Chains A and B, each alone.
Chain A
Amino acid sequence: MDIAKLRQVTPCSWSLPAREDDTRAPVLLYGTRELLATMDDKVLEQIANVASLPGLVGAAMTMPDAHWGYGFPIGGVAAFDADAGGIISAGGVGFDISCGIRCLRTDLHLPDIAPRLEALAEALFRAIPAGVGQEGEFRLSPRELDAVLEGGAQWAVREGFGLAADLDYVEERGRVAGAEPDCVSDLAKKRQRGEMGTLGSGNHYLETQVVERIFDEAAARAYGIREGQILVSIHCGSRGLGHQVGTDYLVSLAKAAARLGIRLPDRELACAPLKSPEGLRYLGAMNAAINCALANRQILTHLTRGVFEEVFPEAVVETLFDVSHNTCKRETHHVQGRARELHIHRKGATRAFGPGHPDLPARYRETGQPVIIGGSMGTGSYILAGNPEERNPAFASASHGAGRAMSRAQALKRWQGRQLIDELKGNGILIRTRSLRGAAEEAPGAYKDVDLVAEATEQAGLARRVAFLRPKACVKG
C-alpha cells in the first residue's frame, strides 16, 4: 500500500484524506507503518468504497490484519444506523457467515500430551470431518434444521452435544435473536444436511496448542490459562448453509440496491437499507446462519471432547470462549457521548467487548472479552482481552488473524504440501490433512507475522495481549 496517500493520526492509526469532491465518510486504517506497507492498494480502495455507503456512522475502518477481500476488505469494520438509512451488506459479512474460533481449555500440560501427540492427532483427524466433500455423521430433517437455525448452540446442547456450561462462554450465549429460518432458501437447508459438525476447508482448522507465553497474568488467571497448558482452537463457520445464504442474497441485494437508487462503487457491496424488506430478509437469514455456525462449533466441541476422553480419559475440556469474525450484529455503542443502536459489520474482524460489558460472562466481566487471533499452522495464535470502549475507537473490534501476505497461487508456486508437512513435523508440529494443495496454500510463510499483528492490535488500543499459543497438532480443512 502506498503509505504516502495516508495521514498518520496516532502511531498505529492512519486516515485517508478526502478529496475536495469526496462525499464519503472518513476512513481509518489501524496498523503499523510496516504492516500497512505490506497491504495491497486494493485494501484502501475497498475500504474507501465502504465509506461511501449510506448511513455509515463514524469511520469505515480496517484492522491491522487487513487484506484484499471481495467488496469489503477482510479486516473491515463498519457501523450503520438503521434510523439514518443505514444498510446491511452481504459483501460486508462474507460467504462464510459467522466464521469464528471456539477456544477450548484443557487441564493438560505439554508433558502430559507429548508422549501421545501422534495418537491425539490421529484420533482428532478420524473424528473431525475436514476438507472439501467430507460430510458429517449427523443428518438433520428439515424440521431439525429449522430448530438449529432458531436455537444455535443452545439447540446443540439440548440435543446432547456438549455441556450447558459451554454456553456461558459463547457470544449471545450460543443463540442470536432475530433468526428467520423462512428467509433461508430450501437449497441452503439441503446443502447443510450432511454438513453439521464439519470443519470445512481453506483456512479452517482444529488445532491443539500449548500456551507458550503469558503477557498479562491477571487476565490469564481470569481466562483460566497458564504457561504450558494445552488449549484447542476450532476455526470454522456456517458451512454450506452460510455459503448458500451469501450466494442467494448477493445477486438479489445487488439488484435491490440498483432498484433503490443506492450507488454501489463495487457490486460486491450488494446491500439494502436495514429497514427495507430486502434488508430485513437478509438480516433474518444471516442471523439464522450465525446460529448454524454456533451449533456447528458446539458439535465440533462435543466431538473434540470425545477424542480427549478416548486419549486422555481424565482430562477436563472446557470452553474458554467462542467468538465469530464474519457478522453483522446489532449493538449499543456510545458515539459522541450518545448511546446508539448500530449494526456493526465485521468482516474478518473480531468483536472485542471491554471490561464491564453487560454481555460478558461474570468470569470475564472485569477483564474484558477474550479476543482470539488465529495464526498460521506453523507460527502461533494469540489470546487478547478487549479494552474499555474509550480506548477502542473501532466499535469494540479487533484483528481476527494473521492475514494473508501472499496469494494462494503464489504460495502454491513456493511450497509443496508434503515437504511443508514434513518440515513442520521436524519443528514439533503435526499436520493432518486430506489436501496437500490446501497445506501448501496455507503455508506459514504465506501469512503476515502474527506477532506484528498482535502487537499492532495492542498498540492501536483495540485489545491487549494475554497469551501466545504455539501449535502442536493441527487438523487442516
Chain B
Amino acid sequence: MQNAPGETVGYFEHDADIGIVGRGPTLERALEAAAQAAFAIMAEPSAIAPERELRVQFEEADPEFALVTWINALLAQSREQGLALCRFELARENDRWRGRAWGASWREGQERGTEVKGATLTMLSVKRTAAGWEARCVVDV
C-alpha cells in the first residue's frame, strides 16, 4: 500500500476505509488506474485471468462524479456476474463514458482480499497534475 513516484496505482490513509489513487497521462487512463487500485483490494490482479469481459456505460459531465460512477458501476456488474476483475479500459465522448473490464469467476481456494462496498465522495478529487491526471477517493470496505 505504498505510493512510489511514477506508479499509476496508489493508496492513501483513512481510518476505517481505504483511499485509492489512480494516475495517468489522460483523464481516462487515470480513472482506469483508480479502478485497478479499487479491485486490487479484493483480489491480486496477477492471479486473475482476463477471460471474461463486462461493459459499462454512463453519462456524467463532472469528472469527479464520473470516477465514483465508473467504479460503482464496475462493482455492481462484477458482483452481479460473480467476477474478480484485473484489467480496465475507459473511453469518453463528451459526457458519455464507455468502459470495459476483464476478469474471471472467483475460484474456490483463491486468496481473497477485502470486499469494496462502494466508492464514496469523501476526499474525492480528479485533477490535472504536472504529469497528467490524478483521480482519488475513499472506498468503503
Binding between chains A and B: yes
Interfacial residues, chain A to chain B (CB-CB below 8 A): 40, 42, 67-71, 74, 91, 94-96, 131-135, 187, 190-191, 193-195, 200-202, 240, 243-244, 246-247, 250-251, 254, 266-268, 270, 404, 406-410, 412-413, 434-438, 441, 477
> Which residues does chain B contribute within 8 Å of A95, judged by CB atoms?
117-118, 120, 140
Cβ-neighbour of A42 out of B11, B15, B80, B110 (below 8 A): B15
A191 and B15 form a contact (CB under 8 A): no
> Which residues does chain B contribute within 8 Å of A135, judged by CB atoms?
82
A-B contacts, 30 listed (Cβ < 8 Å)? A69-B15, A69-B17, A70-B122, A70-B140, A74-B15, A96-B140, A131-B112, A133-B43, A133-B82, A187-B80, A201-B141, A202-B114, A202-B117, A243-B75, A243-B117, A244-B76, A246-B140, A247-B76, A251-B68, A251-B121, A266-B122, A267-B124, A270-B121, A408-B18, A408-B141, A410-B13, A434-B112, A437-B114, A438-B114, A441-B114
B121 and A132 form a contact (CB under 8 A): no
CA distance A227 to B6 in the complex (A): 57
A477 and B115 form a contact (CB under 8 A): yes
CA distance A67 to B42 in the complex (A): 23
Q: Would you call B84 an interface residue if the criterion is a C-beta within 8 Å of the partner chain's C-beta atoms?
A: yes
Q: Would you call B72 an interface residue if the criterion is a C-beta within 8 Å of the partner chain's C-beta atoms?
A: yes
> Which residues does chain A contribute within 8 Å of B124, judged by CB atoms?
267
CA distance A102 to B88 in the complex (A): 39
CA distance A321 to B91 in the complex (A): 50
Nearest CB of B to A109, in Å:
34
B140 and A94 form a contact (CB under 8 A): yes
CA distance A135 to B81 in the complex (A): 11
Q: A201-B141, A408-B141 are in contact. Are A71 and B16 (CB under 8 A)?
A: no
For the residues of B in contact with A, the DSSP-based class is loop
Q: How many A-B residue pairs have CB under 8 A?
A: 138
Nearest CB of B to A72, in Å:
10
B16 and A67 form a contact (CB under 8 A): yes
Q: Would you call B57 an interface residue if the criterion is a C-beta within 8 Å of the partner chain's C-beta atoms?
A: no
CA distance A410 to B2 in the complex (A): 11
CA distance A409 to B107 in the complex (A): 26
Besides the known contacts A194-B82, A407-B13, A408-B114, 13 further A-B residue pairs in the complex with CB atoms under 8 A apart: A70-B17, A95-B117, A131-B115, A132-B42, A133-B115, A243-B75, A268-B122, A270-B121, A407-B18, A409-B11, A434-B111, A435-B113, A441-B114
**A-contact 0/1 string along B11-29, CB 8 Å cutoff:** 1011111100000000000
Interfacial residues, chain B to chain A (CB-CB below 8 A): 1, 11, 13-18, 42-43, 65, 68-69, 72, 75-76, 79-80, 82, 84, 106, 110-115, 117-122, 124, 138, 140-141
> Which residues does chain A contribute within 8 Å of B84, judged by CB atoms?
133
> Which residues does chain A contribute within 8 Å of B115, judged by CB atoms?
131-133, 200-202, 477
Q: A131-B112, A133-B42, A267-B124 are in contact. Are A69 and B117 (CB under 8 A)?
A: no
Nearest CB of B to A427, in Å:
23
Nearest CB of A to B44, in Å:
9
Minimal Cβ-Cβ distance residue in A for B77: A187
> Which residues does chain A contribute within 8 Å of B69, judged by CB atoms?
251
Minimal Cβ-Cβ distance residue in A for B1: A409
B14 and A407 form a contact (CB under 8 A): yes
Q: A70-B122, A71-B121, A251-B68 are in contact. Are A412 and B79 (CB under 8 A)?
A: no
A435 and B112 form a contact (CB under 8 A): yes
A254 and B76 form a contact (CB under 8 A): no
For the residues of A in contact with B, the DSSP-based class is mixed
A240 and B79 form a contact (CB under 8 A): yes
> Which residues does chain B contribute within 8 Å of A40, judged by CB atoms?
15
Nearest CB of B to A131, in Å:
5
A268 and B121 form a contact (CB under 8 A): yes
CA distance A96 to B116 in the complex (A): 11
CA distance A477 to B112 in the complex (A): 10
A246 and B112 form a contact (CB under 8 A): no
Nearest 6 Cβ contacts at the A-B interface: A201-B115, A133-B106, A70-B122, A132-B115, A68-B15, A409-B1
B121 and A246 form a contact (CB under 8 A): no
> Which residues does chain A contribute within 8 Å of B122, judged by CB atoms?
69-71, 266, 268
> Which residues does chain B contribute within 8 Å of A244, judged by CB atoms?
76
Query: Could you say which of B15, B43, B140 has the most chain A C-beta atoms within 10 Å of its C-beta?
Result: B15
Q: A95-B118, A250-B121, A267-B121 are in contact. Are A68 and B14 (CB under 8 A)?
A: yes
> Which residues does chain B contribute within 8 Å of A267, judged by CB atoms?
121, 124
> Which residues does chain B contribute within 8 Å of A268, judged by CB atoms?
120-122
CA distance A435 to B15 in the complex (A): 20
CA distance A246 to B106 in the complex (A): 25
Nearest CB of B to A271, in Å:
12
Minimal Cβ-Cβ distance residue in B for A194: B82
Minimal Cβ-Cβ distance residue in A for B76: A187
CA distance A40 to B80 in the complex (A): 36
> Which residues does chain B contribute within 8 Å of A94, judged by CB atoms?
140
> Which residues does chain A contribute within 8 Å of B65, judged by CB atoms?
251, 254
Q: A404-B16, A409-B1 are in contact. Are A134 and B118 (CB under 8 A)?
A: no
Minimal Cβ-Cβ distance residue in A for B106: A133
> Which residues does chain A contribute within 8 Å of B119, judged by CB atoms?
247
